[in-house]
Structure 1
Amino acid sequence: MHKFRILICGAGFGQIYLEALKRINSEFEVVGLFCKNSPHSQLIASYYNIPTYDDISQVPENINLVCVVVKSSVLGGEGTNLAIEFLSNGYNVMLEQPVHEKDILRCITIARSKNRIFWVGDLYSRLESVKKYKKYVGKILCNNQLSYIEVDFSSQVSYPLCDILIEVFPEYRPFKLEDRVEQVGPIQVVKGIISDIPIIFKVDNRADPKSPDTYLNVFHRIKATFDCGSLVLENTHGPIIWYPVMYITNGISNYHQFTKYNTPELYEDSVNLLWKSPYNSFSDIFRYQWTEALNNIFSMIKEYSEQKENDLNGKYQKFLLCAKYWNMVTKKIGYPQIKNNDNYTRFSVSEFDNIGGNYESDF
C-alpha cells in the first residue's frame, strides 16, 4: 500500500506532529524535517531517525503533504512565506494557526492555480471533546432554544476558540462584538452576539514573553445555556457536564407533593457528567488526544488528495471566517499583559487529601 508521505517544517511545535505520526496508523510516513539545521533541530531529527532539509530544492518531489508548523507572518514568523513557497512548487500544505485572513486567501489562490490543497491547522476543533460537545448541542437544539453563550479562554488560544465556535454553532451568523471592553483585574470581558444570541467572552490576556505558550489557567471553557439547562465544556479537552434547570411543575407548591410521579424532574441529578476522556493528564492530552485529532486531519487531507475533483470551497470559507472572527476578537482585547511566571509554584491535587472528598472518581 502506498503510504501518505508527510514533511514537517519546524522543530518546535512540530515535535507534536512528529510524535503523532510516530504513534498513528501505518498509512502515514514522515519523510523528513525541514528546519534551520540548528543543534536542537538535529537532535530532534536524530531522535525520530529522519533526514533534515534546509532548502526547498533538496526536498523530494513525491511528498503528499507539507506541514508548516512555524509561526505565520501575523506573528512575525516565516510560516506564511514557507507555505507560499511550497504551494508554488506544487505541494499540498497545512499551515499551523493563527493565520491572517489575507494570507489564507493568498494561499488558497495559489493552491487552486496549482490544483493543490491548502489547509489551516484546526487541531482543537478535531478533538473528540469538541465533536462530542457539538453532538450534544445539536441534540438539545432539536427541541429547545439557545438562550446565551459564555466563553472563558486564554488569549494564546483565541484563534482555535473561533474555530470551535464555528464548528459547534455552524448555523449562527453573523458575529458582532460591542465596542466596550471591561477590565476586571487580569480578566477582560467582551460582549457580543452570534446571530441574535448573546455571547460573553472572559479573556485571560496575559503572557510571559520568555514562555508565551505556558501558564494557561484555561484553554477554553464554553457554556451554552438553553431553556432547559446548561451544557458546559469545562475545558477544551473535557469533561462535558449537563446542568438541568431547577423546574417545579405548575400547581405543585407543597413539599409533600414532590414525588417522582408529580415532579420527576426534581429526582434527576442536578450535575451530570456526560463525557470524560480516558486521557486527562497534560502528557496524555499531548500524546493521545492531540494525536487522534491530527490523525483525523491527515486522514481528511489524504481523502481530499485522492479525489479527482475535490471541492474544498466549504473548508476554505470556514478558514477565512475563522480568521475574520479572530481578527475581530484580537482587535478588541489588544496586546497581552506581561505575566512573570518565574515564581510559579506547583500545587498538586494530592494536597487536597487531608480535606477529604473523592476527587479521583467524582469527575
Structure 2
Amino acid sequence: MTPRPLRVVVAGTGFGRVYLEAVRRHPEEFALAGILARGSDYSVACAVRHGVPLFTTVDEVPGEVEAACVVVRPGTIGGAGTELARALLRRGIHVLQEHPLRADEITECLRAAAEGGAAYAVNTLYPRLRPVRRFLAAAEFLRRGRPPAFLDAACNSQVAYPLLDILGRAAGGLRPWALGEPSPRGAHPFRALPAVIGGVPVTLRVQNQVHPDDPDNHSYLLHRVTLGHEGGALTLADTHGPVLWNPRLHSPRDGTGRLVMAGPGTERLAVPSTVQLGAERPGSYHEVLAALWPDAVAESLRVLRRDIEHPAGRGRGGQWALGVSQLWGELTARIGLPELIRPGEPEPVPLDELQEAARCDAAMSW
C-alpha cells in the first residue's frame, strides 16, 4: 500500500522557495500544510499562491503537521532558525533544517528531538544533487577495490560546509581528519591547505571571499572534486555535473625500454581517455534552480521520512551531521574570515564566440 503524503510546513520564503517547489513537485509523497514566516507581504502572497495557510508563530502550526523544513538563517549567521527548529521538535514535529549549523546548535536540536520523540536532520543539500549522487556512487564502487589515493577539491567559502560532507562521503568516512596550515592571504583568490579526511590525503582550495551586500554571487565555482584512484581519476567537474572518469594511462615497455603504444598487450590503451558517467547533459541554471535543487530537497525529505519510520537509525545521521559541522568549524578557524570584495556584475562570455575560439584548427596567436 502506498503511504499517504507526509504533511509538511516550510519555514522561510527566501531559499525556502526551493523547498516549496520540492513539495509541490511530489504530491504523491508530500503535502504542503502551510508556510511559517514573519508575515511580510511576500510571504502572505506566497501562501496565497500555494493555497495554504500562513503561520507566524510555532504555536499556530496545527497538530496534524508531521514535519517542518526550517529554511531560516540559523544562529550561525545571526538568524532564528535554530530556535524555530528546537520549538518545533519539542512539539514532536520532525525537522529538516538547512545548513550551516554550529555543532552546539546541532546538539541542542538533537536534545530537543529526543524530548519530543521527533526525527531531526541537517540538510547540506548538495550531496543530494543527482550529479553529486552519481559521483558518490562511483566513488563507493571504486573504494570496493582500493582506497582512494587522494582527493583534490575546490569551492567557494559559502559552500565549504557541504563540500566537507561530500568529501567525507567520497572518502568513506570523515574520521580521522586533520587540517594543515593554509597558504597566506595574497593576490590569489583561493587559499590552499593540505588535509586528511577519512584517512585520505586531501588538497583543499577555498575562494575565501564574499561580497558583503551580495553574498550569494561572485563565486568562481561552487564545487569541483577529483578522487584519485589506482585505476584513474574520478572528477565531479561542477556541482551540477558532469561526472568524468579518466582511466589511468599505463603502457608496457618493450625489450629496449620504449613504451609500446599499439598492438598486443596494449588493450587498455583502447579505452577513451575521458568518459562521462551518465548520459544526461548538465542543464541550464534555470533548470538547476527549478528542478535539480528541488529534486535534492525531495531526496533529503525522503531520508527524513525513513528516519521518522525507523527511529533506530536517527543517531547515525545526527553523529554524521555533528562531524561535518565540527570539521567545518576547524576549517573556518584555519582560513579565517572571508576577504570582503565588491566587484561589479560579471560580464557573460558569449558561448558561440568561445566555441569558435576553441576550435583546434584556429590560427594560434602564440
Tell me the distance in 2 between the aligned counterparts of 1:60 and 1:49: 16
Residue 361 of structure 1: aligned partner: none
Q: 1:300 to 1:261 in 2, by over 3 A?
A: same
Query: 1:350: Cα distance to partner?
Result: 2.5
Distance 1:253 1:340, change over 3 A: farther
| 1:282-319: CA deviation from partner (whole Å, max 9, x where unpaired) | 11112222222222222222233234x44311111101
Q: Matched residues in 2 for 1:112 and 1:326: separation?
A: 25
The 3-state SS of whatever aligns with 2:273 is coil
Structure 1 residues 260-275: aligned runs within 5 Å: 260-275=263-278
Specify every segment of 5 or more residues in structure 1 that has no aligned partner in the other structure, as ranges.
Answer: 359-363
Deviation (angstroms), 1:157: 0.4
Give distance in 2, aligned partners of 1:242 and 1:336.
Answer: 33
The aligned runs of 1:177-326 (5 Å cut-off) are 177-183=179-185, 185-251=188-254, 257-275=260-278, 277-278=280-281, 280-307=283-310, 309-326=311-328
3-state DSSP class of the match of 2:185? Answer: strand
In 1: Cα distance, 2:228 partner to 2:165 partner: 20
Q: CA deviation at 1:95?
A: 1.2
Contact map agreement 2:153 2:225 (CA 8 A) in 1: yes
TM-score norm. by structure 1 comes to 0.91
The aligned amino acid for 2:124 is D
Query: How far apart are residue 65 of structure 1 and its match?
Result: 0.5
Match of 1:46 in 2: 48
Which aligned pairs between 1:5-24 and structure 2 lie closer than 5 A? Answer: 5-24=7-26
Partner-residue secondary structure (3-state), 1:81: helix
Q: Structure 2: give runs of 5+ residues left out of the alignment.
A: 361-366
Moved more, 259-268 or 204-213: 259-268
* Deviation per residue, 1:266-286 (Å, 9 max, x gap): 222222222354451111112
CA distance in 2, matches of 1:311, 1:170: 18
CA–CA distance in structure 2, aligned partners of residues 268 and 253 of structure 1: 25
Is 1:167 paired with 2:204? no
Is 1:342 equivalent to 2:344 in the alignment? yes
Contact 1:151/1:221 (8 A) holds in 2: yes
C-alpha contact (below 8 Å) 1:183/1:189 kept by paired residues: no
* Count of aligned pairs between the two proteins: 357
**Preserved contact between residue 3 and residue 28 of structure 1 (Cα < 8 Å):** yes
For the 8 Å contact 2:210–2:339, the answer to whether it is kept is: yes
Residues 44 and 54, structure 2, Cα contact 8 Å, conserved in 1: yes
Structure 2 residue identity aligned to 1:266: L
SS at match of 2:246: strand
**1:84-95 alignment to 2 at 5 Å?**
84-95=86-97
Q: Taking structure 1 as reference, are residues 94 and 278 closer, same or farther at Cα in structure 2, changes over 3 Å only?
A: same
Q: 1:144 to 1:59 in 2, by over 3 A?
A: closer
TM-score, normalised relative to structure 2? 0.91
Q: CA RMSD in A?
A: 2.1
Structure 2 Cα separation of the partners of residues 256 and 118 of structure 1: 57
Q: CA deviation at 1:122?
A: 2.9
